[in-house]
């Protein structure tokens, strides 16, 4: 059964169970500034999981194309892709665990035809601190399901994933209990960071076993469902929204419980052919076959390059077929990046000619079944992508000509890092392409070329800062549109830290450019991964709410003592200060003394992503974040 057949069979199967098939959402959501793209099957359904009534009833199903560019650097291994498709079904206050678990198992084993002996599942081990019991209900349902398939499924209590890396899987074990880092769902991540008032609950993940010979004990430890490595691959997750978090931080059971199921189409298809390499499924292998034909090289010897090209052009087609055009802003830039990365990898394969027009028809055929409601401009996709390829290859060709001139000018025929910087800065010829081309043409490269390149880059940055010195204040590189967004995002970052960690946290400095923000704050310890995720989620929630940003001038004492505005240096402020307020002035999210500039509504910012949290100095932490 190929991937298209699995998609169709899933929707038909869910229809028989009383689900209404709904149209998938587009990859680019019109009214969701918190994210560049639809990143999961449940994302478009979130309002209904939070209580809003859906026009099509309480049982819904779809197959949702999704994209996560945060995985872009991982593409090249056997299972990471930037674009994927999620099979989903939902119960909005209707059925629950005893219906969902057997149904998914039946779909996998009876419809897709997976060997039940190769299926492994996980459940939530509970949390005594918050009075949430172990999910023995789900585990017992799983045992009964396995029993009907002739399997005596033993239960293992693992706890943390690290414990599993030490003990591995013992004979007969198919059901594994893990803590909230693995088997708890909330918008904030773990139990500690579940937002007040939100539905949440345990989940039960389903894995396929590709065999003990796929485990790498030396690199990953002993294999178990939640481990890294190639033996186990998650193919579906059933979230049971069973609880809500109360104002006092405790949890209570919901009257109406929801089921949110998501299964990776590509991964289920890979399991169906018993291949841990998702690039061998029907949605991707034809692209690989064509690349082998065009390049004259084998997939086995060029896996990284071919996987990246196949993934990126698949994503580029789905975006362009929804009307997106390459540009230098947000989603358009993401599309441009996918195309250019694919072309660069094609060069690595020796494909010097335009080739996209030979690949896209293969991808388009694979997605004939997707509705016109989301692929609104599929006829224009090839022309859009061909135009971008032609323009980028012209840039590359111009860079190559300039590179040859530089080599000819040097008496020893050597290129240095300063030359490479000029190629990038003046001619748009990327550094990594220059280096590849140098090796390909046997051109000599100076011994310290990378250090020289970095020095030239730093000199340019210093020149930019010197040129703007005295013009910009408050740690801002400039007053451009993107920098302004980052500046407002620092206010939201501080507000989130104060709300979630400590109301006494204050800003200790910031540095903002058009590419990222750096924010320093007083705090005595490193943030946990859950705390960091919670801060990120809170900022994005405020962005999604599209809160108004307003300002007014006040007497300093009034701003400090009555409005309780946050400020760094009250003793240095003038008698009149400008105060920026985010949200309802009667109950603001943020209120700070600031000289601006800011966006007018938080929805203008875009998706906020924390890249790093680290020490800045004693008692001061630093967050580095970007806007996607």
The domain that holds 555 is classified in CATH as 3.30.980.10
pLDDT at position 309 is 97
**The pLDDT of residue 30:** 65
Beta carbons of 349 and 306 less than 8 angstroms apart: yes
Residue with the two structure tokens 């841990």 = 276
Which pLDDT score is estimated for 32? Answer: 58
**In 388-469, at which residue ranges do the beta strands (DSSP E only) sit?**
414-415, 444-445
Cα angle 274-277-283, degrees, rounded to a multiple of 5: 95
Do 115 and 192 lie in one domain? The reply is yes
Q: Is residue 116 part of a domain?
A: yes
pLDDT in tens, 537-554: 999 989 988 888 888 888
Q: Are residues 172 and 307 in the same domain?
A: no
- Under the banding of pLDDT at 50, 70 and 90, the label for residue 396 is confident
For residue 371, pLDDT over 70 is answered with: yes
Higher pLDDT, 166 or 469: 166
582 lies in which domain range?
Answer: 481-627
In tens, the pLDDT along 30-83 reads 655 556 788 787 888 888 887 889 999 999 999 999 998 877 888 988 888 999
- Give the β-pairing of 173-178 and 83-92: unpaired
- Using CA atoms, how far residue 548 sits from 328, 371, 488, 588, 589, in Å, is 27, 37, 11, 10, 10
pLDDT at residue 561, rounded to an integer: 86
pLDDT digits (tens, 9 = 90+) for 148-192: 999 999 999 999 999 999 999 999 999 999 999 999 998 777 898
Cα 32 to Cα 37, 47, 197, 307, 320, distances in angstroms: 9, 12, 21, 30, 19
pLDDT at position 34 is 57
Indicate whether 403 belongs to any domain: no
In a domain, 405, yes or no: no
Considering the domain boundaries, does residue 610 fall inside one?
yes
Is there a single domain that holds both residue 140 and residue 229? yes
Reported as a pLDDT band with limits 50, 70 and 90, residue 474 is: very low
Asked if the model's pLDDT at residue 342 lies above 50, the reply is yes
Asked if residue 476 belongs to a domain, the reply is no
Q: How far is CA 527 from CA 211, 216, 512, 534, 553, in A?
A: 37, 31, 22, 10, 35
Q: What's the half-sphere exposure (Cβ side, CA atoms, 13 Å) at 581?
A: 15
Contact assessment for residue 485 and residue 606, using Cβ atoms and an 8 Å cutoff:
yes
Please give the pLDDT value at position 476.
46
Residue 404 domain-assigned (yes or no): no
Q: pTM of the predicted model, to two decimals?
A: 0.71
Is residue 273 located within the same domain as residue 419? no
Residue 246: CB atoms within 10 Å: 11
Whether residue 369 is contained in a domain is answered as: yes
612, 588: one domain:
yes
CATH of the domain at 115: 3.30.930.10
The pLDDT value given to residue 362: 96
The interaxial angle of helices 303-320 and 381-409, nearest 10 deg, is: 130
Instruction: Decide which of 280, 308, 332 is a domain's last residue.
Output: 280
What would you report as the CA-atom Rg of the chain, rounded to the nearest whole angstrom?
27
Q: What percent of the chain lies above the pLDDT cut of 90?
A: 54
Q: Is the pLDDT of residue 472 over 50?
A: no
Q: Which of 248-252, 279-283, 425-429 has the lowest mean pLDDT?
A: 425-429
Q: 137-146, 212-221, 316-325: which has the minimum mean pLDDT? A: 212-221
Largest CA distance in the chain: 80
């Amino acid at each position: 059964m190929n991937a298209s057949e699995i998609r169709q069979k899933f929707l038909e199967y869910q229809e028989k169970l009383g689900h209404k098939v709904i149209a998938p959402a587009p990859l680019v959501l019109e009214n969701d500034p918190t994210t560049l793209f639809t990143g999961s099957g449940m994302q478009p359904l979130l309002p209904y999981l939070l209580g809003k009534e859906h026009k099509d009833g309480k049982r819904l199903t779809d197959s949702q194309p999704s994209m996560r560019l945060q995985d872009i650097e991982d593409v090249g291994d056997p299972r990471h892709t930037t674009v994927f498709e999620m099979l989903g079904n939902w119960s909005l206050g209707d059925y629950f665990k005893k219906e969902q678990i057997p149904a998914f198992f039946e779909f996998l084993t009876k419809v897709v035809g997976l060997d039940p002996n190769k299926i492994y599942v996980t459940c939530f081990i509970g949390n005594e601190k918050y009075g949430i019991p172990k999910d023995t209900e789900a585990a017992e349902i799983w045992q009964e399901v396995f029993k009907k398939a002739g399997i005596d499924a033993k239960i293992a209590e693992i706890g943390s994933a690290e414990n599993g890396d030490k003990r591995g899987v013992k004979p007969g074990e198919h059901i594994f209990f893990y803590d909230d880092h693995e088997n708890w769902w909330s918008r904030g991540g773990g139990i500690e960071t579940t937002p007040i008032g939100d539905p949440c609950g345990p989940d039960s993940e389903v894995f396929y076993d590709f065999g003990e010979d796929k485990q790498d004990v030396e690199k990953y430890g002993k294999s178990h469902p939640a481990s890294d490595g190639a033996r186990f691959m998650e193919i579906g997750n059933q979230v049971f929204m069973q609880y809500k978090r109360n104002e006092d931080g405790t949890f209570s059971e919901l009257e109406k419980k929801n089921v949110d199921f998501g299964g990776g189409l590509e991964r289920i298809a890979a399991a169906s052919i018993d291949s841990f390499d998702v690039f061998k499924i029907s949605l991707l292998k034809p692209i690989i076959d064509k690349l082998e034909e065009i390049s004259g090289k084998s997939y086995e010897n060029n896996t990284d390059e071919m996987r990246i090209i196949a993934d990126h052009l698949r994503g580029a087609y789905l975006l362009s077929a929804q009307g997106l055009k390459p540009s230098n802003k947000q989603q358009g830039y993401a599309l441009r990046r996918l195309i250019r990365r694919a072309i660069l990898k094609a060069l690595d394969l020796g494909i010097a000619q335009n080739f996209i027009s030979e690949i896209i028809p293969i991808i388009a055929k694979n997605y004939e079944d997707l509705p016109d409601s989301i692929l609104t401009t599929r006829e224009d996709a090839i022309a859009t992508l061909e135009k971008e390829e032609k323009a980028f290859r012209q840039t590359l060709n111009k860079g190559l000509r300039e590179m040859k001139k530089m080599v000819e000018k040097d008496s020893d025929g050597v290129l240095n890092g300063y030359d490479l910087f000029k190629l990038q800065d003046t001619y748009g010829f990327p550094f990594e392409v220059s280096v590849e081309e140098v090796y390909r043409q046997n051109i000599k490269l100076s011994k310290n070329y990378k250090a020289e390149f970095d020095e030239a880059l730093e000199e340019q940055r210093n020149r930019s800062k010197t040129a703007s010195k005295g013009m910009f204040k408050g740690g801002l590189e400039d007053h451009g549109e993107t920098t302004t967004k980052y500046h407002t995002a620092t206010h939201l970052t501080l507000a989130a830290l104060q709300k979630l960690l400590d109301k006494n946290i204050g800003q200790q400095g910031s540095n903002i450019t058009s590419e990222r923000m750096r924010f320093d704050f007083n705090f005595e310890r490193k943030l946990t991964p859950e705390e960091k995720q919670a801060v990120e989620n809170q900022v994005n929630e405020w962005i999604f709410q599209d809160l108004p940003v307003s300002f007014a001038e006040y007497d300093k004492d009034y701003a400090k003592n009555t409005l309780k505005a946050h400020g760094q240096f009250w003793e240095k402020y003038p008698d009149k200060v400008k105060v920026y307020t985010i949200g309802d002035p009667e109950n603001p999210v943020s209120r700070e003394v600031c000289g601006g500039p800011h966006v007018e509504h938080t929805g203008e910012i875009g998706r906020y992503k924390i890249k790093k949290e680290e020490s800045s100095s004693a008692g001061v932490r630093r967050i580095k974040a970007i806007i996607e």
